[in-house]
Amino acid sequence: MTRQFTTHSEDETRAVARALATELTAGAVLLLSGDLGAGKTAFVRGLAEGLGVDPGDVTSPTFTLVHEYRGGRLPLVHVDLYRLDRADLDDIGLDTELAEQGVTAVEWAERLSRPVRGALKIAIADAGGDRRVIEVTDH
Ligand code: ADP
Ligand code: MG
């Protein structure tokens, strides 16, 4: 099933993610795709808010690949594959125990060489100006 949302500001994108966060359970994986500036990191900030993690801590983990945020309803694992051409989630040093207990959000998921079973797909497209079309697809 695919749900589609159109947002007109970063705040609205965060609100979509905040609402989605309430549906998530331990082990959830979200695969975010979309160009630079589409709003993937903004979406992850909304997830953090919805999970009760301080969103101010959430930055583009461009140089670190993986950030872990604890203290919310579920821990949040934030992965950014921007610097990699191709990647496999099994090879990037994820704390698998934490990932199983929490929510994993992957930016630039189009760079994954293998699909992730059971993952939610979040595709964000720039529709001009501040408009973004967000498609949330579950299996
Ligand atoms: P990405 O992680 O996909 O590269 P970011 O979330 O870092 O993108 O940046 C998105 C940029 O677009 C921010 O500067 C944000 O303020 C701006 N923006 C404008 N409109 C929106 C919107 N509707 N949703 C999300 N971000 C938006
Ligand atoms: Mg980003």
CA gap 125, 39 in Å, rounded: 8
- State pLDDT tens for residues 116-125: 999 999 999 9
Residue 65's CB is within 10 A of a number of other CB atoms, namely: 17
Ligand 1 centre to CA of 97 (Å) is 31
CA gap 69, 39 in Å, rounded: 19
Q: Is the CB of 13 under 6 A from ligand 1?
A: yes
As given in the structure block, the two tokens for residue 64 are 């670190």
Residues with CB under 5 A from ligand 2 (ion): 40-41, 60, 107
- State pLDDT tens for residues 83-137: 888 888 888 888 889 999 999 999 999 999 998 999 999 999 999 999 999 999 9
122: enclosing H helix or E strand: strand 120-126
42: enclosing H helix or E strand: helix 40-51
Ligand 2 centre to CA of 80 (Å) is 7
Q: Name the pTM for this structure.
A: 0.95
- State pLDDT tens for residues 8-54: 999 999 999 999 999 999 999 999 999 999 999 999 999 999 999 98
Q: Is the CB of 41 under 6 A from ligand 1?
A: yes
